[in-house]
Structure 1
Amino acid sequence: MQQTSSYKVILVGDSKVGKSSFFIRAIKNITPQQPKSTIGVEYASKQIVYKEQLITLKIWDTAGSEKYKSVTSNHFRQSQGALLFYDLTDLYTYENIQNWLKDIHGYADESVAIVIVGNKLDLVNDAQNLRCIPQEKVQQMCKDQNLLYAEISTKTGEGINELIELLVKNLQINKIQNVQQQERPRQNCCY
């Protein structure tokens, strides 16, 4: 196995969109049972092998409640990855994505890899009429803003591994691009 890479990843979004459930499923690989609301932040590491490299994800689960925003936004700093959650059945949580994006862009690394994550896919699979906004519209918004998109169910585990792989792939791409930018010779110009 080759070298290792380590990335700070933040989980953000409104309360009750599934951040803590994802955190439990991703770290412990168990089905979450009524997780409590996060107060402030929780932290854990997850190691995975990606293309024969050991990758460590330092995952920070942030509180979605407005009253903790000043505490949680400090943890956005130096984040290379952000998973921005919304509830596929709750239009308000989708509409609030833009507010969360402002916070991410305001505090995280400039080249942060952002994945918009629609959670509660199990509910939508059972009843399509519960979907609050058409998938195509969300995908177009992500394309327009150069964001990645995934739909998951923290309850059933559907899409979790694919989401983690999508995130890691883009973290690695960003790392390579950042290294290449730093290695470019600077042009000295005199006018």
Structure 2
Amino acid sequence: MNQIQSYKVILVGDNKVGKTSFFIRITKNVAPRQPQSTIGVEYATKQVVFKELIINLKIWDTAGSEKYKSLTSNHFHQSQGALLFYDLTDLYSYENLQFWLKDIYNNADDRIVIIIVGNKLDLIHDGVELRCIAQEKVQQFCKAKNLLYCEISTKTGEGINELIDQLAQNLQARKVSQDVLQQRPRQNCCT
């Protein structure tokens, strides 16, 4: 297990959807306690093992505030992955996914792996009526846009390992398919 792959992953979404809590949990391995809103961008690396590879996830926690939009959008360039967060109990944050997707598509690589992340699953367990939109509807939205979907709780840690596994698997699959495309012989259009 000596091969190392590195991928730049951005955390995107509105304020207070749990991006920084996720960032703290996976990079410092602690449950977050009332994190402050991100100003601009924060960066850390998380190393995971996937099959026979060591994968370095270079994670960029971006501010969700509109006033930092131009600063954070610049960090979308050369990202291989994006975790697009919304709060499972906040319809407004779900509706803003369209805005964030447009920003990602305008500023990132066309082949970026995007996972929609519904956070605050612990609140849904406490009261199903708190869910702002049916899970099936979100899954249909993701399927129509060829996006992946995962629900987590940064508070309890539920679903986070599965999300990281799904991210690593899809980033690696993207790289393998990209390598295959680059190895194909070029077709001569005149033959």
User: CA–CA distance in 2 between the matches of 1:110 and 1:188?
Assistant: 25
Query: CA offsets, 1:73-129, max 9 Å, x none?
Result: 000000000000000000000000011001111111211000000000000011000
TM-score where L is the length of structure 1: 0.98
Tell me the amino acid that sits aligned with residue 160 of structure 2.
I
User: CA–CA distance in 2 between the matches of 1:147 and 1:123?
Assistant: 24
Look up the match of 1:7.
7
Tell me the amino acid that sits aligned with residue 124 of structure 2.
V
Look up the match of 1:65.
65
Look up the match of 1:23.
23
Query: CA offsets, 1:6-41, max 9 Å, x none?
Result: 000000000000000000001011010000000000
**Runs ≥4 in structure 1, deviation > 3 angstroms?**
none
Which residues of structure 2 form unaligned runs of 5+? none
Compute the displacement of 1:2 (Å): 3.4
Look up the match of 1:158.
158
Compute the displacement of 1:52 (Å): 2.0
Look up the match of 2:108.
108
User: CA–CA distance in 2 between the matches of 1:186 and 1:105?
Assistant: 28
Tell me the amino acid that sits aligned with residue 28 of structure 1.
K
Q: 1:84 and 2:119 equivalent?
A: no
Look up the match of 2:179.
179
Look up the match of 2:143.
143
SS at match of 1:175: helix
Q: 1:99 and 2:94 equivalent?
A: no
Alignment coverage as a number of residue pairs: 191
Look up the match of 1:75.
75
User: CA–CA distance in 2 between the matches of 1:24 and 1:137?
Assistant: 29
Tell me the amino acid that sits aligned with residue 116 of structure 2.
I
SS at match of 1:169: helix
SS at match of 2:61: strand
Look up the match of 1:126.
126
Which residues of structure 1 form unaligned runs of 5+? none
Over aligned residue pairs, what C-alpha RMSD do you find? 0.9
Tell me the amino acid that sits aligned with residue 150 of structure 1.
C
User: CA–CA distance in 1 between the matches of 2:189 and 2:41?
Assistant: 47
SS at match of 1:49: strand
SS at match of 1:57: strand
Tell me the amino acid that sits aligned with residue 153 of structure 2.
S
Tell me the amino acid that sits aligned with residue 182 of structure 1.
Q
User: CA–CA distance in 2 between the matches of 1:117 and 1:190?
Assistant: 47
SS at match of 2:164: helix
User: CA–CA distance in 1 between the matches of 2:145 and 2:81?
Assistant: 16
Tell me the amino acid that sits aligned with residue 46 of structure 1.
K
Query: CA offsets, 1:115-155, max 9 Å, x none?
Result: 00000000001100000000000001101110000000000
